[in-house]
Amino acid sequence: MTTAAKAVQTTGTTAASARQVTKTYGAGETRVTALDSVDVDIQRGRFTAIMGPSGSGKSTLMHCLAGLDTVTEGRIWIGDAEITGLKDKQLTKLRRDKIGFIFQAFNLLPTLNALENITLPMDIAGRKPDKAWLDQVVETVGLADRLKHRPTQLSGGQQQRVAVARALAARPEIIFGDEPTGNLDSRSGAEVLTFLRRSVDELGQTIVMVTHDPVAAGYADRVLFLADGAIVDEMLAPTADSVLERMRRFDGKRTS
Ligand SMILES: Nc1ncnc2c1ncn2[C@@H]1O[C@H](COP(=O)(O)OP(=O)(O)O)[C@@H](O)[C@H]1O
Ligand SMILES: [Mg+2]
């Protein structure tokens, strides 16, 4: 299993892709087009941020890419594996084997310590964690001296770093985060973002993060800008300032 997962990680340069993906909710007069013919490729070993106004389709795009929601039209791949058309059981297995998630709420189990929380998904799946990898993850997140602590004994930033370590521990092909720093103060947010950055630079992880925060987006390699369910722009090597400036221009367009 571990060998197969590693082999997948080192082949190809695209970790996820979408072709002509449309997602509509509801029908008739209440029909909403959340995604409108989206084409996107997410590069492996990169940190991609998805930005856009509230309601622009950020969460929907992430959920469709991650197989948490079905598309109305179009196709999605995780690595070489097409996920559109998979049966529930196959999709659940693919998500478990290839995808990690970090949510706004840390979703840690209060009765387990940090280390037990980190290895829980693998324990449930009956997989043995790779000890060397786990040590490296724990070291990178800076949690080595906190492993025996319960979530209530950790700060918000530390709890979210446990959640990130949990996502990384299984060496997923790709990690998705929806506003992973949304519940954190700026200092804890910076702590988690620095760690996400390091996991890309030092561990080769692929990360896709939805955010509305230009500072958070400034940690990414690439920012995709969504508006009304379509990708309207992208920026490489973003900084907080350049992202903010770009957002102001969008706002200007909309109000003029
Ligand atoms: N489950 C749902 N049922 C109906 N409409 C939805 C649902 N989820 C999202 N939408 C609508 O789809 C659009 C995009 O939503 P979303 O992806 O959550 O945007 P964002 O994450 O950028 O704020 C919005 O108009 C939203 O109201
Ligand atoms: Mg959202």
Query: Which residue is closest in CA terms to ligand 1's atom 12?
Result: 34
Q: 64, 76 in Cβ contact below 8 A?
A: yes
pLDDT of residue 129: 85
Count Cβ atoms below 10 Å from residue 131 Cβ, excluding itself.
8
Burial profile 139-159: b = 16 or more Cβ within 10 angstroms, e = fewer: ebbebeebeebebeebebbbb
Q: Give the DSSP per-residue string, 163-175.
A: HHHHHHHT--SEE
* In the predicted structure, residue 2 carries a pLDDT above the cut 60: no
The model's pLDDT over 172-209, given as tens digits with 9 standing for 90+, comes to 999 999 999 988 888 888 988 998 998 899 889 999 99
When pLDDT is cut at 50, 70 and 90, the band that residue 9 belongs to is very low
255 pLDDT more than 70: no
Pocket perturbation via mutation, ligand 1, pick of 22, 30, 60 by most ligand atoms within 8 A of CB: 60
Residue 54 Cα: closest atom of ligand 1: 23
What mean pLDDT comes out for the span 133-157?
90
What is the DSSP annotation of 200-254? HHTT---EEEE-S-HHHHTTSSEEEEEETTEEEEEEES--HHHHHHHHHHHHHHH
Ligand nearest to the CA of 55: 1
| Ligand number with the minimum distance to the CA of 52 | 1
Q: Could you write out the three-class secondary structure of 117-157?
A: HHHHHHHHHCCCCCHHHHHHHHHHHCCHHHCCCCHHHCCHH
Q: CATH classification of 45-70+84-255, choosing from 1.10.1050.10, 3.30.1200.10, 3.40.50.620, 3.40.50.300?
A: 3.40.50.300
The predicted model gives 150-165 an average pLDDT of 92
Q: What mean pLDDT is reported for the chain? A: 90
Between these two residues, 4 and 250, which has the higher pLDDT value?
250
Residues with CB under 6 A from ligand 1: 25-26, 32, 34, 52, 54-60
Radius of gyration of the chain (CA): 18
Reduced to 3 states (helix: H, G, I; strand: E, B; else coil), residue 82 is: strand
Confidence of residue 10 (pLDDT cuts 50, 70, 90): very low
Residues of the chain above pLDDT 70, percent: 93
Q: What is the pLDDT of residue 7?
A: 37
125-141 pLDDT per residue, tens: 888 888 998 998 888 77
The reported pLDDT for the residue numbered 5 is 39
Q: What is the pTM of this model?
A: 0.88
**Using an 8 Å Cβ cutoff, are 203 and 219 in contact?**
no
The number of residues in the chain equals 256
Cα distances (angstroms) measured from residue 59 to each of 23, 35, 62, 64, 211 = 12, 10, 5, 8, 9
Question: Whose alpha carbon is nearest atom 20 of ligand 1?
Answer: 55
